[in-house]
Chains A and B, each alone.
Chain A
Amino acid sequence: MGRVLTYEEKDTWMHRLCGVTKFVFFLLWSMTSMMTYDTRILLVMVVLSIILYRTSRTRWRQVGAVFKFILLFLTINLIAIFFFSPGQGTKIYGTDTPLFHVVGPYVMNAEQLFYEFNVFLKYMTVVPAVFIFIVTTNPSEFAASLNRVGISYKFGYAFAIALRYIPDVQDDFRTIRNAQEARGIEMSKKAKLSSRIKNMAAIIFPLVFSSMDRIDVVSNAMELRGFGKNKKRTWYMARELKPLDYTVIIVTALASAVALFITYHDGNRFYNPFV
């Protein structure tokens, strides 16, 4: 599975930030981009996120495959929006300026084009933020830091275990699939839908049951070592919040507040260039 985002160690100011800081940034950022439909704000956010992406020194080979997939998905989605509701733009912006005829009863108007452009921007603001967060954050450090900001260490552990076992479970999946294919099970498109479901079960069952065994083994091991006895625990990978972390958090919070104020101050979250 080459098309996966993973952490890569580098030495930039972004890599040195505490995982929690980047998480707060990511949450505030994606929340702001979810709430706003103000084109000016979205444009500023896209430019900013591209600049941030550049300073994180992320290489194209780390994210390229995923990015192409997102573009493909986004294109399908935008086309689907048009064919399901070609009047959505008019409904939002209140005017109707026909541009060109597409097919049958479908006519593209300026409002629709602008609305879909906004949808596109909305996705594009979040994508670099996710890339930066995953590529620059050490998962163990992040799980450890979660506890620092007051989240129960049990949850931090569940999170750490999840990240730790994703590659293992993927390996198991591949091993089981290869074994089943060697036994003559067809997993490609050539098989019928019903038999593909049945064949899928032949992989899922061993995978889930071996994972249930794994849950027993791991929880017994943790019990033997006295996990959960004390209210607090120490972490090897934890990081202190440094002045730079506080600066980033404060700046992000202020920026989102300003962005939301600009978006909502006229009582409407859409920026309307048509009136």
Chain B
Amino acid sequence: MKFGIKEVVAAGIGTALFVALTQVQIPLGFIPNTALQPRAALLVFISAVFGPIVGGIVGFLGHALGDAFFYGSVWWSWVVPEAVVGILVGIFANKFAIKEGGFSGKNIVFFNVIQVIGNALAWILCAPILDIVIYAEPANKVFLQGIWAFIGNIIIAGVLGSILAYAYSEISGKSSSLEKED
């Protein structure tokens, strides 16, 4: 768990990416505030590469800044869960071995298991509870919103996130493109 130069920059640029992608959405349905968000894939990818501190910062700061810049209000009840996802996925960064070029087979499955658990904790548990505690919104509405966000995020993180991590692992792991000849 180090927070060196690379992590500082990754947290900064990761947050910038997350904020820039805030407006890039694919609407899912009629429930307000839910859509397929490519930034959810970015978050799990960045966290899986750079670890929990970077993941936590990108989730928290990215969501808060994105809300503030584009929507002029900060929904803390949805900011905190975003950080939860980043931290949880980030904790297992070494296991995924993305930078080392070992992200394949078992690791992809493991990555997705963690990603689903993280998103479940965040959106089905954390976000609705905070919504009820902070805004006293009706339980059935916020849980439906949470489940909707959960489904959207695991799809986009599972598909886009896995492919991103796989492709990045392929590029960064190899020291050169030369192959040994028999």
Contact = CB atoms under 8 A, between A and B. Distances in A.
Interface of A: 1, 3-6, 30, 34-35, 37, 63, 66-67, 69-70, 73, 76-77, 80-81, 84-85, 88, 92, 115, 119, 122-123, 126-127, 130-131, 133-134, 154-155, 157-166, 168-170, 173, 193, 196-197, 200-201, 203-205, 207-209, 211-212, 214-215, 218-219, 222-223, 227-228, 270
A160 B12 contact: yes
A131 B68 CA distance: 8
A78 B21 CA distance: 26
B117 interface: no
Given A126-B73, A204-B38, A207-B17, 9 more contacts: A30-B76, A66-B70, A115-B136, A161-B15, A193-B26, A214-B13, A215-B10, A215-B14, A228-B8
Binding site secondary structure of chain A: helix
Interface string B142-167: 00100000000000100110011001
B13 A211 contact: yes
24 contacts: A66-B72, A84-B138, A88-B136, A115-B136, A127-B73, A130-B72, A131-B72, A154-B8, A155-B57, A158-B11, A158-B61, A159-B61, A166-B19, A168-B16, A169-B20, A196-B26, A197-B159, A200-B26, A201-B160, A208-B45, A208-B164, A219-B6, A219-B10, A223-B5
A22 to B, nearest CB: 13
Give the top 5 A-B pairs by smallest Cβ distance, nearest first. A161-B12, A85-B138, A84-B141, A162-B15, A165-B16
B17 to A, nearest CB: 5
B41 interface: yes
Interface stretch (B29-37, B82-90, B121-129, B173-181): B29-37
A222 B5 contact: yes
B92 interface: no
Contact of B13 (A1, A5, A161, A173): A161
B42 A204 contact: yes
Contacts of A67: 72
Contacts, number: 182
A10 to B, nearest CB: 19
A134 B164 CA distance: 33
Interface in B20-52: 20-21, 23-24, 26, 31-33, 36, 38, 41-42, 45
A85 B138 CA distance: 6
B74 A30 contact: yes
A3 B70 contact: yes
Contact of A219 (B9, B21, B65): B9
Most buried by A among B19, B62, B69: B69
B73 A70 contact: yes
Contact of A154 (B3, B62, B73): B3
B74 A126 contact: yes
A179 to B, nearest CB: 16
A118 B180 CA distance: 70
Given A158-B11, A208-B45, A123 B32 contact: no
Nearest to B12: A161
A35 B130 CA distance: 11
Contact of B8 (A70, A161, A193, A203): A161
